[in-house]
Structure 1
């Protein structure tokens, strides 16, 4: 398995990965068939992302297929450019095999190089594997937001988690 920065050539595979994640887990934001991004839009998005100094998507690749990603999206203004919001998705077949750790390790190296000070994310409180990974990578729970998501007709709470890079 290899972790690297996303490229425009990954657009189709990245869309496929995201659609698979939407199908196989309820921990992602989008529900199955809700994702409407086309190939041209995805390429344009990747192009703009690669032009941003404080944003990047890291992909985990196994046998020429994307099996996971970690998106790091930096603040747009002077007051929040040092903040990066994270979103991760890993195919279930590759869960528990070190993919998440590898993605976070690469992202944190990059974050330190580009001057990021704060990493933050949200996670459903019942996502035990996710919370465990984030704690392992040095994140702490800063608070709980009640009823932030509606999943299968039920309101779900989320933890706000963060890590300060010194």
Structure 2
């Protein structure tokens, strides 16, 4: 599904959040590879589960067609610096929910890009008959956990010793969810 672009100005940085386009595919492939190497907050190490431009074109096409998917990018100075996705499920028993994921280049942390990608995704979700948003976050990513809690997400579960990081230690993954209407 597509949304209208929205402009933001945060700490002297101007950026736009908009729906992904097929022309973004190569930039998204390079961006994801870079972000995976910048932080251990992601599920992958750099180069793992690599998605090339053709793969991103396919994702963008599917997400544009599907009323239960949303693919957003953050662009500043004609450069994509972050993106998020909401991915729905065609199975009837799960069709009321989407899974949210986000990533932003480390040089652009602190400009509320992740926060605004999340807020735009929540707005889309709330206006498109999505009853629940879910996500997973590493227990050590305290800023993200706080952001999600401040935007209506609650901790629903814990995957114990779920990720092995470079320090040789295992970390838990927190499962969070946001339910739009408690009465559904």
Where on the TM-score scale, by shorter chain, does this alignment land: which range?
A: over 0.9
Q: Is the CA contact 1:84–1:116 (under 8 Å) kept in the aligned structure 2?
A: yes
Number of the residue aligned with 1:164: 179
Q: Is the CA contact 1:122–1:160 (under 8 Å) kept in the aligned structure 2?
A: yes
C-alpha displacement of 1:55: 0.7
C-alpha displacement of 1:151: 2.0
Matched, 1:65 2:79: yes
TM-score (norm 1): 0.94
Q: For 1:48 and 1:114, how far apart are their aligned partners in 2?
A: 17
Q: For 2:72 and 2:126, how far apart are their aligned partners in 1?
A: 15
Which runs of 4 or more aligned residues in structure 1 lie more than 3 Å from their structure 2 counterparts after TM superposition? none
Q: For 1:103 and 1:11, how far apart are their aligned partners in 2?
A: 18
Q: For 2:44 and 2:18, how far apart are their aligned partners in 1?
A: 24
Among residues 135, 142, 162, which one is paired with 1:148 in the alignment?
162
Deviates more, 1:37-46 or 1:91-100: 37-46
Number of the residue aligned with 1:15: 29
Task: Report Cα offsets for 1:59-107 as digits up to 9, x if no partner.
Answer: 1111111111111011221111111111111111111211122111211
RMSD after superposition = 1.3
SS in 2 for 1:138: coil
Among residues 1, 22, 47, which one is paired with 2:61 in the alignment?
47
> Where do residues 114-129 of structure 1 align in structure 2 (5 Å cutoff)?
114-129=128-143
Task: Report Cα offsets for 1:46-68 as digits up to 9, x if no partner.
Answer: 11221111011111111111111
Q: For 2:135 and 2:29, how far apart are their aligned partners in 1?
A: 22
Q: For 1:114 and 1:105, how far apart are their aligned partners in 2?
A: 14
Q: Is the CA contact 1:19–1:35 (under 8 Å) kept in the aligned structure 2?
A: no
Number of the residue aligned with 1:90: 104
Q: Is the CA contact 2:33–2:50 (under 8 Å) kept in the aligned structure 1?
A: no
Q: Is the CA contact 1:73–1:85 (under 8 Å) kept in the aligned structure 2?
A: yes
Q: Is the CA contact 2:135–2:176 (under 8 Å) kept in the aligned structure 1?
A: yes
